[in-house]
């Protein structure tokens, strides 16, 4: 009868598998493919060119990130959309005024590039 170990040399078996060179190479390849698709989708909608697609590598996992750090920090709105709302602004004299920001449908750049279902952030699945 085979014996199954939960750990190897003090590491959980799942982490040992995840850190395997072949597994990491495949994650790198797939992450790159998703990032290329995401960049192409983002280019279709780019207006000011501030948002970008980046690849991040954690200890084990790989991430494709939609970043808008250089622009309006609107990556969440780009991905999932937004409802119409009012924003308070200030002019050069220090006077405040309100600006109406229109609603926007989400572009689902990361979801579409990853072939994942489009779901609004925070929506409970029933």
State pTM to two decimals.
0.75
Domain that holds residue 45: 10-113
Residue 1 placed within a domain: no
Residue 119 placed within a domain: no
Residue 124 placed within a domain: no
d(C-alpha 23, C-alpha 18), whole Å: 6
Contacts of 22 (CB under 8 A, 6+ apart): none
d(C-alpha 16, C-alpha 7), whole Å: 8
Q: Which of 41, 56, 51, 46 is nearest to 73 (CA)?
A: 51
Number of domains in the chain: 1
For the stretch 1-39, pLDDT in tens is 888 878 888 889 889 999 999 999 999 999 999 999 999
Residue 3 placed within a domain: no
Coil, helix or strand at residue 69: coil
Residue 5 placed within a domain: no
Residue 126 placed within a domain: no
Residue 118 placed within a domain: no
Residue 47 placed within a domain: yes
């Amino acid at each position: 009868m085979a014996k199954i170990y939960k750990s190897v040399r003090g590491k959980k078996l799942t982490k040992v598998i995840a850190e395997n060179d072949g597994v990491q190479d495949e994650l790198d390849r797939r992450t790159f493919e998703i990032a290329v698709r995401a960049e192409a989708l983002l280019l279709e909608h780019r207006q000011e060119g501030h948002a970008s697609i980046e690849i991040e590598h954690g200890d084990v996992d790989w991430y494709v990130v939609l970043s808008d750090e250089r622009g309006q920090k609107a990556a969440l709105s780009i991905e999932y959309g937004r409802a119409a709302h009012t924003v308070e602004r200030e002019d050069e004299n220090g006077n405040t005024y309100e600006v109406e920001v229109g609603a926007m449908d989400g572009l689902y750049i990361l979801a579409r590039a990853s072939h994942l279902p489009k779901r609004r952030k925070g929506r409970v699945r029933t």
